[in-house]
Amino acid sequence: MSNMKRVQKEILAIEQDKEAHIEVILPEDGSMNHMTAKISGPVNTPYEGGLFTVDVSVPPEYPFLPPKMKFVSRVYHPNISSQTGAICLDILKDKWTPVLTLKSALISLQSLLSTPEPDDPQDAQVAAHYKRDKEDFEQTAKYWTEVYANPNAEVLPDGVKPEALARLVDMGFGRSNAINALAEFKGDEQAAVESLL
């Protein structure tokens, strides 16, 4: 791939910039056309304190075509699909130019988190929620940040989903008991609840 040189330099530039709070993790096979990025949620937003995982793939036509990015961490935001993590951001689409870089695109994702645009939504339901009751929206967004983008979250055993765990904890069960129960019943929430009762 002819753009490898540029991508390599771009990744190096991200690694050298400690101020941006962006991290890029390359796959172990050494390929550079697909990577994982971690971006911190901006302060004074419901995403503050979260560390969001973004899937980045670099098409062969890069930088003539934009990199493809989507959130792996679930995010509650009008311009990000709550189901698929797809992002509605002009510079990742028709406003892309080769002047932009992976770093500037990731920084734009951070600023998208700070400035939702509910009138140009990716997720119509979330946007409607935002427009109807912003305070309630922010509570949900904050809750999702804690559950899905918590940098301090322990690595959960296979089959234990953070949202299921959060619901069990909300019901009043102890966290470690809930994890064990969910692990034992391979994520089956109902069975886990019955065993805990």
Partner 1 sequence: MLKGFLRHKSIQPLTPPSPTLRASNMTSQEQNDWQPELTDEQILAFEQKIKDEEAEKIPLVCQKESIDALEKEFQDNKPFLEKVQKLKETNDELRKCRGDGNCFFRAFAFAWFESLMRNPHIFKAGVEKLKSTTELLLSGGFQELAFEDFYDVTLNQLEQIPDSDPDLLLVNFQTEEISNSIVMHLRFVTSAYLKIHSAEYEPFLIVESISIDQFCAQEVEAFGRESDHLQITALTKALDVPVEVLYLDGSSGDHVAVHEFWPDEASKGSRKALQLIYRPGHYDILYRKE
Residue of 120, 114, 125 lying closest to 89 (CA atoms): 120
Nearest approach, Cβ of residue 130 and partner 1 (Å): 11
194 binds partner 1 (CB under 8 A): no
Nearest approach, Cβ of residue 121 and partner 1 (Å): 8
14 binds partner 1 (CB under 8 A): no
Quickly list H helices, the chain.
4-16, 102-114, 124-132, 134-148, 162-171, 175-184, 189-196
98 binds partner 1 (CB under 8 A): yes
Amino acid in the structure at residue 79: N
Nearest approach, Cβ of residue 39 and partner 1 (Å): 19
CB 32 within 8 A of CB 4: yes
Residues in the chain, overall count: 197
In terms of CB distance, is 138 or 184 closer to partner 1? 138
Among 20, 26, 32, 86, binds partner 1 (CB under 8 A): 86
To which residue do tokens 């400035």 refer?
115
To which residue do tokens 């899937």 refer?
55
Residue 88 known to be catalytic: yes
- Show contacts with partner 1 in window 122-141 (CB under 8 A): 122, 124-126, 128-129, 132, 136, 139-140
Spatial distance between the Cα atoms of 92 and 89, rounded to a whole number of angstroms? 6
Interface positions with partner 1 (CB under 8 A): 2-3, 5-6, 9-10, 13, 63-64, 76, 82-84, 86, 88, 93-101, 120-122, 124-126, 128-129, 132, 136, 139-140, 143-144, 147, 163, 166
